[in-house]
Amino acid sequence: MPENKAAEAKEPKPSTKGEFSIRKILLGVLLALVTAGGGVLWFVLIRPTVPVQAAKGEQEKLAELLERGAVLPLEPFVVNLADPDAARYLRIKISLMVDDKAKLKEVAQNQALQMKVRDVILESLTAKRSQDLINAEGKNKLRREIQEKVAIYFRAPKLVDVMFTEFVIQL
């Protein structure tokens, strides 16, 4: 029996649950710090600065456009989406930015233009499924599609942007 006691004394004792959970927490904190440090290093050292400078030039152009441009808000659209498995609805408010404030009144009073624009937008919206619109990429694709289809009806003033001021999908 004395041999058993000696063998027990030589064997390391298994760690307790408290020690194991502390190790897990410390490992998690260490991983979080390494990840955050890598993100900071990327942001400060590796991130290219040229696109930021190009974006500043674009921002200046946009600021100039906003000064001389105007916005034509459209009545909200509520449409059934083309989801085959269930009835899904989209409520969206769209505003159209044009490049000349002075001609906004003409556009706002042109009922034929406004009805055609609504028709084209409704056609685009009702062809979409909720999965097409649920993420930012889908919304941007819809924005570009609407702008391409509607811009041909604007001669003076020119259509320069399509903005979504409300976007709700009922899932």
> What are 77-135's pLDDT values in tens digits?
999 999 999 899 999 999 999 988 888 889 899 999 999 999 999 999 999 999 999 99
Q: Which CATH architecture has domain 69-170?
A: 2-Layer Sandwich (3.30)
Backbone dihedral angles phi then psi of residue 91, each to the nearest 5 degrees: -115, 125
DSSP 27-45: HHHHHHHHHHHHHHHIIII
Backbone dihedral angles phi then psi of residue 82, each to the nearest 5 degrees: -90, 25
Tokens linked to 143:
């924005």
The CA-CA-CA angle for residues 138, 144, 149, to 5°, reads 125
Q: Where are the domains of the chain?
A: 2-45, 69-170
Please tell me whether the overall predicted TM-score, pTM, comes out greater than 0.85 for this model.
no
Residues 6 or more apart whose CB falls under 8 angstroms from that of 61 comprise none
d(CA 53, CA 66): 20
> What are 12-65's pLDDT values in tens digits?
555 555 556 777 777 777 666 667 665 554 454 544 444 445 566 777 777 777
